[in-house]
Amino acid sequence: MKTILVPLQNISMMTSTLDFVVRLAQRTGAYIEGFPLRLGIPQYVVAELAAGFPLESYQTKSEAELNEMRGFFEAFMLEHDIPRAAGGSSRPCFDWLTTAPEGEDFVGSYGRAFDLIVMARSDVDAAGPHRRAIESALFEGGRPVLLTPLNAPRSIATNIMIHWNGSTEQARVNAFAMPLLHLAERVSILTVVGGQGVPGPSADRIVRQLQYNDIAANLIRVELEGRDTGEAVLDAARAQGCDLLIKGAFTRTRLRQLMFGGATSYIMEHADLPVLMAH
């Protein structure tokens, strides 16, 4: 994972997200690119919202916020000894995309050119644009998305848990995670007995697959015990002291998760460790 895309927002979790990105890039020798994530608002809507003060004032304020985000990002990188990218520069290094358009959809389309997209995780109180940006990355990017919590662990990908549910989505994110799995000191394959899953290979087959890729993994099984699947997964990761969870995203449809709940939504809203996801 040598190229990392980071959408920047004016949210409280941004500092911890950048802290995680820096430590990951230092471990993997990655290039980091930041850009401002902005809600796309049609001009006629802006005009309605700006009633009572000139549209120029709104645009000036927006430009000031963009400059503030860029200044924050660049200062953070330099303070943590990540140099600006230059011709022939060594990694880790960083750069800033000045031409990013408005709209959450850009995260998914532009993210296809990167090995990894890193964003602050959603929560039950997250604004709609933030959640839509995460879903754009997951559904349109074709790349893995790493969601960071408010207080990420100091270690990165040393103790990894894979939640195996038999699904195509989980197989895909396992493949994306191979570079990190090779770095890990410990890898666990979790099965939630009675939890949400689909017909597919057993967890034992995944252990065997990883062994042939020179990755030793141990198998863990837990019961639901009255919990939702997502809650059981996070409890197991916490009990094992994991610093990264590998999770396939939206095995059930978004609509079904919205109506009936699902492990993906629960983990996105409650995870207290970094989660690598892919759809």
Residue 97 near residue 34, CB atoms below 8 Å: yes
**Is 184 strand, coil or helix?**
coil
- Smallest CA-to-CA distance from 265 within 242, 244, 234 is with 234
Residue 100 near residue 35, CB atoms below 8 Å: yes
Residue 49 near residue 61, CB atoms below 8 Å: no
Cα distance between residue 74 and residue 93, in whole Å: 11
Q: What is the pLDDT of residues 189-238, one digit of tens each?
A: 999 999 988 899 999 999 999 999 999 999 999 999 999 999 999 999 99
- Smallest CA-to-CA distance from 275 within 171, 192, 153, 183 is with 153
| 33 beta partners | 5, 95
Instruction: Write the CB contacts of 43 (distance below 8 Å, at least 6 apart in sequence).
Output: none
Q: Both tokens of residue 121? A: 């995780």
Instruction: Write the CB contacts of 11 (distance below 8 Å, at least 6 apart in sequence).
Output: 120, 130
Q: What is the pLDDT of residues 105-146, one digit of tens each?
A: 999 999 999 999 999 987 655 567 788 899 999 999 999 999
User: Using 50, 70 and 90 to split pLDDT, how confident is the model at 153?
Assistant: confident
Q: Both tokens of residue 255? A: 């609509």
